Structure formats: structure tokens, C-alpha cells
């Protein structure tokens, strides 16, 4: 990572993307006032957040009085009135301090964000270049960019309690009313309205820690991944044919390699009228809001309210395993699990074995050769403590392909992050020692300086793929369709 100098205050960013998180009353109303009415962005303007909090408190009191006199007021009108009060209060302060126009605009934006959005965190959520927001207590915040740069920025809160209240408000504004964070509930995991994934921990160390993982490529299809260099046109055609032919596919890979991005892209190969379910702990697939799919049953797990029932299980908790069984009764054509990470793997494999096919899921694995061991580990976590042999057998019977997504990071030596598919493995039954047997349909050609997936052989189901329009002659190109090997600074590039 390349660290940029400390920037003492958040910068004010351009008007947010329409899918930017909405906070506070705007989130609860389901619609936000367009903050562009607050004025054009001022890239270098800084904000005195003590002043911003004072003005926000003043406007909040005015709003409270307004709602007492007009309890039936709609949210849009309420927020428009608040915007007027924000402008008036900032104008008074600005006139007294002879503030520049860009400082005036930045202060109005900051007050609006404190009242209706994510406060001092909001500029970073608005920045589409940001991939991760890393919070080390209220005063230390780092931004990881998609190109590998890391930058330290100003604080997002003045105290631990203010930071915790911000996290609680994010949970409330994201529709997760059952989720909170405190010493009694020290972890918080949720999906923000723009699909960003938040994980926070408090009370288990010297400070509160949080990471917000943003999805910069949230609506890509397979053609977009070709343009991004993750796959070539041959692999694009192959993966599309596998989905259309109803093959069961598991996407595996390292953290941050792009598994979810590839899964979203492959969903675009479903027929728009295909009826399918997405089962996730937090919504990261956005299939029901993509505008492409028409029949999506979107199911999200629910955390416990902190109490225990008579069995010792968290009251109100709904796990992915709990969701799998009713989902199978919803007249679905396919099932998609955002990430298999626990006992739900058993129900998923049973669905793959018994269903009509065409199901997709992802799993975390550091290398392609340990995917089956990872599945067996998850079987062992199931309540029944299922055997390794059963895990291997159901995997071999249920899965058709494993697609492995890899990442090579050369940012520390002045290079860039490369995310790409490296392997496509076809499962062919039970092999030695009871493990699933595989064929490498696509794999790297490291001897030629290519780490990305290129064709190696025809799959056993090639006729199924031909029936959905795949040209099998494409698999006879040993270099794939890459014009040159992956441009690396170290290693196999030539």
C-alpha cells in the first residue's frame, strides 16, 4: 500500500450516486432529499464539526416542534423544511465569520449529512474510488482505494460513544432494527442501503473497530468483466453457457478477489423471468433491485435480539440454514447463496443434488486445491457433525464446476491489483481417497507467463453447452483470447 499524508478533515465530495446510503429520517422515510440543493461540491473545503453539530441540534429541535404541530406531515416536506432551516442557520454563521462560498456549501452539506445521512462518514461513502473504509476508533480512519492506495483521513467522531451511536444509527437507517452494538452485543454486521458491508467490534479491545467494504462494481455483467480484464471472451462465453445449461457452480477465491462481483455478473445470464432465491447474511447481490430480474425471492438472515431461548439459541435468530428449507418450497427454479460459510453448506449441497440444477454459491478458499477440504470443514461444523466422506460424496454428486477467482497484488512495488479467474474445474465423480475428481477445463499457463485462465481441455458436458449455443472450437485456443500475458512486475510475465 502507498500511504498518502494525513488529511485533517473530510473533503466534500460531488453529489452522491442515487444508491448512496440514506441516513436518519430520510432512511426511515424511504426517500431522500437530493442534497445537490445544498450547492456544488467544494473539493478542498474543510468543516468545523463542532459548529455543524450545533446547527444540526438546532434544526433537530425545530423539526421536533414542527412535527408536534403537524404530525401528519410527509417526510419529503419535512426534509425540505429542514433544508431551509439549515440554509438559514448556516447563512447567519457564514455572515458572522465571512466564510467563503465553498466553506458555506461544505458546512450546509455537513449539517445535512449529520441529520439525514451518515454524518462525517458520508463523504467517504460517496467516493466511488473507495473500496474499504477502515475505522480504528473515532480518530483514525483509513481509506483503501481500488488501485491499492491507502490514505489516512480525518476523524469521523470525537469520542467512542459518538462513534458507537453513529454505528447504531447506521443499523437503524439500514432497516436492521434488531441489530445494535454495545458491550452486551459487541459485534455488528449489516448491509448498508448501497450494498456496502459493515462489520464492527467494540468492547473486546482498546477501541471500537469497523470496516466498511464497498462494492465499486455492483451491477457488472460478464461483458464488463471482460473489459476489466478478469476474464477473456472465451471464458465469458463458457461461463454464460454453463449458467444457461443449468450447471451447478461454486465460485471460490481469496478475500477481496472478486467472488461476489463474478456471482452478480453470472446472475445476469439467468433468463429475466427465471424465478430464483438469493440467500444471504447481508444483501450484496442486489438481484431484486437490479432492474433485470423479475422473479427474485430475496432472503436475508437475522441476528438474535441478544436473548436466549430454552434451547440456548439466540431468540429471533434466523440463520442461512433456517432459510434454505422454506426456500426450497417457494417453487424456485434456482437457488443462489451469497456465501457458504457454515452449516448451511449441507442444505445447499442437498439442494444441488436433488434440484433441477443451475444453482450458484460462493465460498472462501485460499487455493483451488483446498476447496473440497473447506467444504468438509463446514460439514464438520453442522450440528450432526457430518463426516468428511459424506461431504466429498455430496459435493461430487451436486457440483458441476468450481470457478476460482484469484488476486495478485503488486501495489507495494508500484504495480496494481490484478483480479482474475485462474481456474475452472469440472467435477467428474469420486476419485482417490474418496475425494471428488476434477478436470482442469481452464487453468493458468505459467510456463508461458499467463496466470489467468486459458482453455486446457473440453469438459465432459460439452454437448450440454453446445445445446445452449456454445462454440466448442473456442476451447482449442491454448492462449485464450488474451493479447498478452498478465502484465506483472515480478514473476512470470515476459
Chain CA centroid to CA 363, Å: 14
CATH topology for the 222-476 domain: Rossmann fold (3.40.50)
Beta bridge partners of 199: 189, 211
Residue 428 grid cell:
467428474
Cβ pair 337, 363 in contact under 8 A: no
Rounded to an integer, what distance in angstroms lies between the CA atom of residue 231 and that of residue 10?
36
pLDDT of residue 226: 96
Rounded to an integer, what distance in angstroms lies between the CA atom of residue 202 and that of residue 184?
10
Burial of 339 (0-12, 13-18, 19+ CB in 10 A): buried
Kind of pairing, strands 150-153 and 3-4? parallel
Rounded to an integer, what distance in angstroms lies between the CA atom of residue 117 and that of residue 160?
19
Instruction: DSSP for 78-115, please give it.
Output: HHHHHHHHHHHHHHHHHHHHT--HHHHHHHHHHHHHHH
Helix, strand, coil percentages (3-state) for the chain, rounded to 5, are: 35, 20, 40
First and final CA of the chain: distance in angstroms?
Answer: 25
Query: Which phi and psi (to 5°) does residue 10 adopt?
Result: -60, 140
Beta bridge partners of 132: 144, 213
Rounded to an integer, what distance in angstroms lies between the CA atom of residue 459 and that of residue 242?
11
**What are the residue ranges spanned by the domains of the chain?**
1-9+121-216, 22-117, 222-476
The stretches in the chain having pLDDT less than 50 are 1-37, 39-43, 493-494
Instruction: DSSP for 209-274, please give it.
Output: EEEEE--SS-S--HHHHHHTTSS-HHHHHHHHHHHHTT--EEEEE-TTSSHHHHHHHHHTTS-TT-
DSSP run (H or E) holding 322: helix 320-327
Residue 111 grid cell:
449539517
Cβ pair 449, 432 in contact under 8 A: no
User: Architecture of 1-9+121-216 per CATH?
Assistant: 2-Layer Sandwich (3.30)
Angle formed at CA 8 by CA 410 and CA 208, multiple of 5 degrees? 75
pLDDT of residue 15: 33
Beta bridge partners of 143: 133, 151
pLDDT of residue 45: 65
Residue 228 grid cell:
476489466
**Half-sphere exposure at residue 255, Cβ-oriented, CA atoms within 13 angstroms:** 4
Classify residue 313 by its DSSP letter: P
pLDDT of residue 35: 44
Rounded to an integer, what distance in angstroms lies between the CA atom of residue 337 and that of residue 270?
15
Amino acid at each position: 500500500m502507498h500511504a498518502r499524508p494525513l488529511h485533517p478533515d473530510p473533503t466534500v465530495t460531488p453529489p452522491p450516486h442515487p444508491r448512496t446510503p440514506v441516513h436518519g429520517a430520510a432512511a426511515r422515510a424511504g426517500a431522500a432529499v437530493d442534497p445537490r440543493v445544498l450547492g456544488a461540491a467544494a473539493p478542498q473545503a474543510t468543516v468545523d464539526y463542532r459548529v455543524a453539530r450545533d446547527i444540526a441540534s438546532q434544526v433537530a429541535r425545530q423539526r421536533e416542534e414542527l412535527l408536534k404541530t403537524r404530525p401528519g406531515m410527509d417526510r419529503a416536506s419535512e426534509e425540505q423544511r429542514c433544508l431551509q432551516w439549515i440554509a438559514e442557520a448556516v447563512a447567519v454563521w457564514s455572515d458572522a465569520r465571512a466564510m467563503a462560498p465553498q466553506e458555506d456549501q461544505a458546512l450546509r452539506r455537513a449539517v445535512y449529512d449529520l441529520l439525514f445521512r451518515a454524518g462525517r462518514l458520508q463523504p467517504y461513502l460517496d467516493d466511488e474510488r473507495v473500496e474499504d473504509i477502515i475505522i480504528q476508533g473515532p480518530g483514525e480512519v483509513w481509506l483503501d482505494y481500488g488501485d491499492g492506495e491507502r490514505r489516512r483521513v480525518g476523524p469521523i467522531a470525537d469520542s467512542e460513544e459518538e462513534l458507537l451511536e453513529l454505528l447504531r444509527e447506521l443499523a437503524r437507517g439500514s432497516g436492521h432494527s434488531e441489530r445494535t452494538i454495545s458491550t452486551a452485543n459487541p459485534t455488528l454486521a449489516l448491509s448498508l442501503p448501497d450494498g456496502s458491508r459493515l462489520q464492527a467490534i467494540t468492547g473486546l479491545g482498546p477501541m471500537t473497530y469497523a470496516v466498511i467494504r464497498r462494492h465499486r462494481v455492483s451491477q457488472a455483467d460478464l461483458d464488463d468483466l471482460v473489459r476489466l480484464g478478469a476474464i477473456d471472451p472465451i471464458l465469458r462465453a463458457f461461463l454464460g453457457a454453463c449458467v444457461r445449461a443449468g450447471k451447478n457452480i461454486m465460485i471460490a477465491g481469496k478475500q477481496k478477489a472478486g467472488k461476489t462481483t463474478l456471482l452478480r455478473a453470472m446472475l445476469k445470464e439467468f433468463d429475466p423471468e427465471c424465478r430464483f432465491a438469493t440467500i444471504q447474511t447481508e444483501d450484496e447481490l442486489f438481484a431484486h433491485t437490479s432492474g433485470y430480474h423479475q422473479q427474485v425471492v430475496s432472503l436475508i438472515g437475522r441476528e438474535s435480539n441478544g436473548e436466549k431461548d430454552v434451547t440456548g439459541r439466540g431468540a429471533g435468530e434466523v440463520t442461512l440454514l433456517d432459510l434454505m428449507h422454506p426456500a426450497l418450497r417457494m417453487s424456485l427454479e434456482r437457488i443462489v447463496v451469497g456465501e457458504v460459510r457454515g452449516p448451511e453448506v449441507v442444505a445447499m449441497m442437498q439442494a444441488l443434488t436433488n434440484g433441477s440444477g443451475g444453482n450458484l454459491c460462493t465460498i472462501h478458499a485460499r487455493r483451488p486445491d483446498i476447496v473440497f477440504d473447506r467444504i468438509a470443514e463446514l460439514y464438520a461444523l453442522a450440528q450432526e457433525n457430518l463426516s468428511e466422506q459424506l461431504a466429498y460424496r455430496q459435493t461430487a454428486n451436486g457440483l458441476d464446476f468450481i470457478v476460482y477467482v484469484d488476486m495478485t497484488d503488486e501495489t507495494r512495488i508500484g504495480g496494481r491489483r490484478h483480479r482474475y479467474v485462474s481456474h475452472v474445474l469440472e467435477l467428474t465423480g469420486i476419485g482417490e481417497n474418496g475425494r471428488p475428481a476434477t478436470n482442469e477445463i481452464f487453468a493458468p499457463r505459467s510456463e508461458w507467463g499467463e496466470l489467468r485462465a486459458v482453455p486446457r481441455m473440453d469438459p465432459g458436458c460439452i454437448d450440454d453447452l453446445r445445446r445452449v449455443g456454445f462454440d466448442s472450437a473456442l476451447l482449442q485456443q491454448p492462449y485464450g483470447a488474451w493479447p498478452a500475458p498478465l502484465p506483472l512486475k515480478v514473476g512470470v510475465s515476459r
